[in-house]
Structure 1
Amino acid sequence: MRLTIRTKLTALFALLFVVLAGVLVTTAYLFVASATTPEAQQADRQRLLEEALADQGVTLPDAPTPMPSGRPDDAVGQALADIATQVRQNVLDDLLQRSLLAFALSALVAVALAWWLAGRVLRPVDEISQAASTLSERTLDRRLSEEGPDDEFGRLRRAFNGMLARLESAFDARQRFAADASHELRTPLAVLRASADNVLTSPRPSRQARELAEEVEQQVGRADSLMTSLLTLARADDVIHTREPLDLADVAAEVVSAVSPRATAAGVEIDLDIADAPVLGDPVLVERMLANLVDNALRYNRASEAWVRCRVWSEAGRALVEVSNAGPALAAADIPALFERFSRGDQRSEVAGHGLGLPIVARVARVHEGVVDAWPGEEGGLSVRVSLPARRDEPAF
């Protein structure tokens, strides 16, 4: 069990009070006990009597010679001494009991006050923590209030706001760079694709020109896919991510609908089984994660009797999506390598791809505090399951 900072501060404050109160009670008890000893009381009474008689001009004679022991005066003196000792002990016991009772009540009050005081002290930290937990690429313009005293927490707020300003500036620069790079890279790719299409659609292209145009078009497609994947990885590796309410079922349905024409042309049957699976996530990353899963299942499939199964459901506070296919046989020991960047495995080298599909899936899952499991099918192929924390509906106020 982890103790919170507030609990630790409360325990520290309460311990400090207990130590100080214990020292106070012990000191008071020892002072009273030392001040009520018979010798101290006798000396005080003797001093007070001498001072009173001196004020009246009377001088006490020298002390008489002590009487032999065993005389009646000794018995009376012993009885008086015993009574004085018992009274003194009763006074000390009563003082101790009352002090301990006051100590216990004060300790309870001190714990409650320490808990309240720790909460007051840590309130600025809670505000900063809540602000940090709600940050996304769309809320970097928010700032904490800097009103208040110029103390440590005031400086912490200003430092946090300064960090947000730097993050906003860096994120805007990254966004501009990604947009500029995407535009600058896609423009020549689009020109190359258009040139290849012109050659392929010309009335009578030569055989060599047609083959070259088909190769150019294929490589342009791969380059465009690679660039999209790299931009997705850059977005996934970013510190700040958008968090929006999503349903994996809706995303899966859109992804499958988009690839259905391609699956039909390839003779692949897609079985879609979905149920509600709400999550909080980055819509771009989550859509790319599911698209990569389905794309990989289509790409690495059998030539005959090809099929892809996509299942989405919720279970035990988790939102799950599982994609399986009828692909080539895989060994369980070879599966971890498929999640490494630019690694396609020994059995996949002949299939067009750039080796970033499953690494993107794994990275997006980690960004959303999820886990990825993969295992080979009994008759070949691969099954990949992604488990993300399910979204809890917040109570309405």
Structure 2
Amino acid sequence: MTIRVKLTAMFALLFVVLAGVLVTTAYLFVASATTPEAQQADRQQLLEEALADQGLEIPEPAGGPSPMPSGGPGDAIGQALTDIAAQARANVLNDLLTRSLLAFALSAVVAVALAWWLAGRVLRPVDRIARAASTLSERTLDRRLPEDGPDDEFGRLSRAFNGMLARLEAAFDARQRFAADASHELRTPLAVLRASADNVLSLSRPSKQARELAEEVEIQVERADSLMSSLLTLARADDVIHTREAVDLADVAADVVSAASPRATELGVAIDLEIEDAPVLGDPVLLERLVANLLDNALRYNLPEQGWVRCRVRGEDGHALVEIANSGPELEAGDIPALFRRFSRGGQRSEVAGHGLGLPIVARVAQVHEGAVDARPGSEGGLSVRVSLPLRPSA
């Protein structure tokens, strides 16, 4: 039950109780006022008032009132009048009860309708806040509720809600700035280390120990640089404001596959590309990284010398689909969710160089573009990942 229904029930119940008390009181009052004793007392009082107005008094019999002999005609007439009065009283009370119940039922229906309307009026500010909260996302934290209403409980609630939004917006901005600044600052010492290693390797006759150390430094710098790039991608994906442009995923996939072809040839992996137009609205950098991470994941965790990768891009039922499947070691369906957690790698994948951010970036980029990711084990081993994004409206 919603709060509006509960308030309606409470208001209607209050009216029903009050109306019931009123109807019952009116019925009992009329019933007590129409008893024979009450009518006789009223007639006696009226007679006394009429005689008093004329200056007369009702004489008291010396021996007290003399009742009419039983069985006479006066007794029969009195009994008939009494029966008629009792029947009339019963008819009046029954009619009063029927009309009162009918009026009570109609009033109850009107009361429920009025209570529903009143509850809606009372809860309208809360409903406005709920609708505003349901439309919020990381990209709309700059929205605020109007605060031009009275300074009441709902006005204070709106101001408190706006204050919470302001704090959330500041927290998101601070997080994005920290991630981006930290990544950029860390790239400076990495560049220095890479330059130092290159200087050592460029010597005409470096010692064996120096060469091995320089090569190891280059490997670690390359891994650190890849990690920084991934962190920057995540920071861009988590940003509340990012670019929305017309992008064709078919063109993105073609460029990514073309750039990865030399690496695939070196690994002995065949890439099968099949693309159709799939226009979307999104951040070109993030979408390029999404496809690149999927392809890099498919090449990295593949069979040596005889592996394959299938890349399909197409539009279908209002969505742009990117499907990349590969050969490789068999995976259990229960192990796949862990692959989409940041810095999480398991099974045979832990033996391959990587930092565990490839598929989490894919999931996050799809999320900020209002899309979805579906991954399942391949029928011949490996992994099949399908990303669905909304097609561009004009398309």
Q: 2 CA distance for matches of 1:25 and 1:334?
A: 70
Q: What CA distance in whole angstroms lies between the structure 2 residues aligned with 1:123 and 1:320?
A: 41
- 1:136–1:243: 8 Å Cα contact kept in structure 2? no
Q: Percent identity?
A: 73
Aligned residue for 1:306?
308
1:139-218 map, 5 Å = 139-197=140-198, 202=202, 204=204, 206=206, 208=208, 211-218=212-219
Which one of 11, 18, 21 corresponds to residue 19 of structure 2? 21
- 8 Å contact kept, 1:263–1:270: no
Shift of 1:385: 4.2
**Which AA in structure 2 matches 1:15?**
L
Aligned to 1:85: 86
Could you tell me which amino acid in structure 2 is paired with residue 49 of structure 1? L
How far apart in 1 are the matches of 2:370 and 2:9? 33
Contact 2:249–2:278 (CA<8 Å) still a contact in 1? no
Deviation at 1:166, TM superposition (A): 2.1
Give yes or no for the alignment of 1:269 onto 2:271: yes
Query: CA 1:373 to 1:258, structure 2 compared with 1: closer, same or farther past 3 Å?
Result: closer
| 1:209-240 C-alpha deviation (Å, 9 max, x unpaired) | 5554443333223223323445666777x7x8
**Distance in 1 of aligned mates of 2:163 and 2:70:** 90
> Shift in Å at residue 88 of structure 1?
1.9
Moved more, 190-199 or 257-266: 190-199
Deviation string 1:77-119 (CA, Å, 9 cap, x unpaired) is 2221222222222222322333233333333332332232222
Using a 3 Å threshold, how does the CA distance of structure 1 residues 123 and 222 change in structure 2: closer, same or farther? same
**Root-mean-square deviation over aligned CA pairs:** 3.8
Cα distance change of structure 1 residues 255 and 14 upon mapping to structure 2, 3 Å threshold: farther
Change (3 A) 1:171 1:347: closer
Please give the TM-score of this superposition, normalised by the length of structure 2: 0.79
> What is the 5 A alignment of 1:28-39?
28-39=26-37
Displacement after TM superposition at 1:18 (Å): 2.3
Post-superposition CA distance 1:305-346 (Å, at most 9, x none): 41133456556x988654321122224454444345433222
Query: Scaled by the length of structure 1, what TM-score is found?
Result: 0.79
SS in 2 for 1:114: helix
Paired with 1:287 and 1:235, the residues of 2 have a C-alpha distance of 13
Question: In structure 2, what residue type is equivalent to 1:123?
Answer: R
Distance change in 2, residues 1:126/1:336 (3 Å): closer
Number of residue-to-residue matches in the alignment: 384
Measured after TM superposition, the shift of residue 150 of structure 1 is: 1.3
The equivalent of 1:95 in structure 2 is 96
SS where residue 324 of structure 2 aligns? Answer: strand
Residue number among 38, 41, 50 corresponding to 1:40 in the alignment: 38
Q: Structure 1 residues 142 and 296, CA, compared in 2 at 3 Å: closer, same or farther?
A: same
Counterparts of 1:227-376 in structure 2, within 5 Å, are: 227-230=228-231, 241=240, 250-251=248-249, 254=252, 257-267=255-265, 268-272=270-274, 291-303=292-304, 304-310=306-312, 322-361=323-362, 373-376=374-377
For 1:16 and 1:287, how far apart are their aligned partners in 2?
A: 63
Deviates more, 1:106-115 or 1:179-188: 106-115
Q: 3-state SS of the aligned residue for 1:306?
A: strand
Contact 2:252 2:291 in 1 (8 A): no
Q: 1:261-313: per-residue Cα shift (whole Å, max 9, x none)?
A: 1145313414345676979x998877755554333222212221411334565
- The code of the aligned residue for 2:54 comes to Q
Structure whose alpha-carbon radius of gyration is higher:
2
Cα pair distance change 1:77/1:364, threshold 3 Å? farther
Partner residue of 2:10 out of 6, 9, 12: 12
Task: Tell me, yes or no, if the aligned pair for 2:344 and 2:356 is still in contact at 8 Å.
Answer: yes
Q: Letter of the aligned partner of 1:122 in structure 2?
A: L
1:138 Cα offset (Å) = 5.1
Q: Is the 8 A contact 2:250 2:277 kept in 1?
A: no
